[in-house]
Structure 1
Amino acid sequence: MDKRGTILIGMAAGALWALAVVWGAQRAGLAFMTPLVGVPLAMAPVGLVMTLMIGRLAQRRFFDDRVIDGDAFPPGSPGWVDQRVLSNTAEQALLALLIWPFVALTMGGQVAVVLGLAFALARLLFWIGYHLSPPLRALGFAATFYTTVLAGLWSLAVWL
């Protein structure tokens, strides 16, 4: 299969993941949680995954004389991949931080907590997929991005 086919399959699987997460979070029968509690709890798994990424980059720098002083990782190297994963995760985390509070207000903080757990898993899939073969990162990317966007749109529909 070519790269585009692999990416399309990852995108489709990410869309199904998003639907399952957002729909499942509402139907799971979880106890209601206020947004004031739910949003910080939702962001904790995001922060933990980012901590792993930052720690891995620091470890790579410490043991590599070429980048120990903060130079850029060589393109295509494992450290370069990790840096790109962290950058994309920071972008996705900002998007989540801008949308999930509204989700928590309209659907309950418990839904935001499920989003946070799903985010962490999807980011790990993104990270692993990127290291295995760049097109495989599509699943993790789509599972993160589509879930946040779908939750935001669903919340808007609930609110209206």
Structure 2
Amino acid sequence: MTSERRGVAQGMAAGLLVAIVALAVGLNSDAAGGPTETLGAAVAILGSWIAATVGNVARLRFFDDSGIGAAATGADPLAIRIARAVAQNTLEQAVIAGFAYAALTYVAGSAGTIALLVGCFSLGRVLFWTGYARGAAARAFGFALTFYPSVLALLVVLVRLASARFV
């Protein structure tokens, strides 16, 4: 196993561990807040991350003479290609998270859980974004901290729905 692959595996494992702890703590919390307010705040934060990454691509294009018209030609400079990759991944992660948060709000209704998941998402995006240019190992923990909480939330929803149906 290459050191890069080992670094990715370590980052992903650490992110999964944090996701499990955050979800367990959240599901056992009694944080105040109704489902509408909680979900509304979560969606606003997800949307803000998408806007920030798309805005970063636009900023880089505007201030780069070779990048300002490169979208049509596909000849983006490296910094813009990296920014586009971060924006694309953020959009993908936000879609998964949005579905997960909405579904979890439906079955659990815990403001504390959603707050912790949004916190993981935001910290994960910061780490992913700042680590992206340094390679896969440098961004793995950030990716995992964004991805695994959403996936685990979806699993919790599916288990709760299945157990409610068959009990």
TM range (shorter): 0.7 to 0.9
Counterpart Cα distance in 2 of 1:152 and 1:134: 25
Query: In structure 2, the residue corresponding to 1:30 is in which secondary structure?
Result: coil
Higher mean Cα deviation, 42-51 or 16-25?
A: 42-51
Q: Could you report, residue by residue, the CA deviation over 1:62-108 in whole angstroms, capped at 9, with x for unpaired residues? A: 1111111242423xx12211110110111111112222211001111
1:5-154 map, 5 Å: 5-31=6-32, 33-71=33-71, 72=74, 73-74=76-77, 77-110=78-111, 111-154=113-156
CA shift, 1:154, in A, is 1.6
Alignment size in residue pairs: 157
- Say if 2:123 and 2:145, in contact at 8 Å, map to a contact too: no
RMSD: 1.7
Unaligned runs of 5+ in 2: none
User: Tell me, what secondary structure is at the counterpart of 1:65?
Assistant: coil
Deviation digits for residues 37-61 of structure 1 (CA, Å, limit 9, x no counterpart): 2211112222222222122211111
Instruction: Tell me which amino acid in the other structure corresponds to 1:6.
Output: G
TM-score, length of structure 1 as denominator length: 0.88
How far is 1:10 from its partner? 0.7
* Structure 1: gaps of 5 or more residues: none
Q: Does 1:158 align with 2:160?
A: yes
Quick one: which amino acid aligns to residue 153 of structure 1? L
1: CA distance between counterparts of 2:79 and 2:45? 23
Query: Which residue is equivalent to 1:4?
Result: 5
Q: Which structure 1 residue ranges, 4+ long, deviate > 4 Å from structure 2? A: none
Q: Distance in 1 between matches of 2:34 and 2:62?
A: 42
CA separation in 1, counterparts of 2:108 and 2:151? 14
